[in-house]
Structure 1
Amino acid sequence: MSAPMVVLALAQPARAGQPPASRDEAPPVADDAIEPVPIRAPAPRPTSGALHVESTAHGARLVAESLDDDTGGPSTVELGPLPVHASLPAGRWRLRTESAGYQPWSLDVTIVAGEPLTLEVEPELIEDAWLELRAANEASEGAEVSLDGELLCGLPCRERVEPGKHRVAVRKRRHKPLDFPLRMNQADEVTLDVRLQPSTSRAPAVLTGALGLTTLVAGVTFTTLGVQAQRSLAADLDGFGQYDRDDPRFENGRRDLNVGIAMWGATAGLTALTLYYLLHQPGEASRADKRRRNLAVQLDGVAPLVSPLGSGLGVGLGARLRF
């Protein structure tokens, strides 16, 4: 908007050949006797200053909090992700960064009206990494999550863990378990969408296990009876005792040993069948869909993804990995 103009009317001298005007008579005025003369008002004094914050921590958000009570504006201003080029009212401000991947950082500055302020901010990375586990279905809620054999949390949860190689286990009663390796890097954020599936009924395993225990007891019993018959016959032979071929110990001992051998065979078969029912889980397996990004790296909203299965480095917005 242009500055206001003040127009002044300036009197021009009388032209030659015209009689001078008397005091009582108004002098004649020519058509071009009044000329506009622009006068520009002074520019208003600035009330804010420019703030330029440079940083390699792209994506970390910068917030300004006013330390004065008379700024006439909001006490907290969201300046957006770094780097930042903004304008703030003159006064004292506290700048701080908000990012899950960086250590807390703050700095008190003074904004001078009409003058730029340039800063270089380099917040430090967090020492740990973030592991977030979410329940992808209702059946997964409340499952226990263990990290390296120690209870970590219950689904859903978000915890900070140390960088390095870890072993994650997800367990819930009557559901198929999950157990897989996971590598965490400094300032990583790994999100796991866990979907547990119901486990197969253990009734067949219980039945075959009970039958196996019964055959085991029977095998031990008949084997013991057969061995006792053999020892009895051997003792009579050593003592020069008399017995004939119709002695019932021959038949009973042979029968008991044969039955015992059959029971041992049945026990072995039932044991294998019990293990099969315990370990074999038909149907869809439990799984976890994984997404990984490094909180210290922001490339126009695209985060790098690293697969734990050794497929190399890729770039994308998400990944689905089945363990």
Structure 2
Amino acid sequence: MEELRVLNEQLVAAECRQTIDGLPWEEFLDRVLADDFVLRRSAADRPDEDKATFLQNVRSEEKPLQRSLVGNAAIWEADTVGVVTCTIRVPGRDSDFRNVRVFTRATPGSSAWACVYWQVTATPRGEPPPAKVTVHLLGFPVSLTRALKVSPDPVFPPDHIAVPGESALLDLYREICASWRSLADTRFKLVGLVPSVSAALLAALLLRRPEDTSNPVAGLIITVLGLLVTIGVALYDQRNSQLHDELISRGRRIEHELGVRVGQFLGRPRAQGLIKHDVALMAIYGVTIVCWATALITILLRF
């Protein structure tokens, strides 16, 4: 079955006029396609194609060079017959294409498979998701707009030839998701740590007893340090927010190129009003900075 899986991916690449294991795509297809090969399409106005006609159509300049496997191929093998079904996606088309390929070989166990039949059936991808979604906020229904706008910048250059199975695109998507989770985790820890530590230090500095004879300069240094560190962490978090938003944009683009209608990034409900991450962060860091600044003024007045 592994031989059929690899052969199926190689056929997808050869149809995009890619070199297969050092062989020109024409030579590869000539070897793999049987002499009595037949290609049948679901379109009523498209006649069946024999081997020569299929090669001529692949050679056509009008044929798209970019296509990709969608999902895992299903493979059946019995003695001298093998069947592979898979779905192909072509950029710019509204439909995916369900492919059924039938292979034969002279003897069981032989690796010399030949494709004798190929059927292509167009399958519509379905209607796009609704532009709005209803969620509940404090028990009240709120209508939010889905974020369906994708980044205008393509993930790959225009002359990029799709990798069978889109493994490169999926690997990049995994890295983006991992980086996005890392930034979200860092933000969550900072939001919990900075106010808590600041509150503890400010309480120790400002709630001292009058008879406390500790060096006031030390308190001044700690206050200035706390204020500067809080401002620095706030700026650092703002940069993280920029990277966070860019990762979402790139992830949304990849989901779009993979044909996802609503995914982790694409189609998520938009924020509404003041219910936003940036507003919450501004409130938390803003209040903390004001508290440190107030403590600094208070300590300076005590001198």
Q: Which TM-score tier does this pair reach, normalised by the shorter chain?
A: under 0.3
Q: When you count strand as a share of all residues, which structure comes out higher? A: 1
- Which structure has more RCO (C-alpha within 8 Å, separation ≥ 6)? 2
Q: When you count helix as a share of all residues, which structure comes out higher? A: 2
Query: Which of the pair has more CA radius of gyration?
Result: 1
Q: Tell me the TM-score normalised to structure 2 length.
A: 0.27
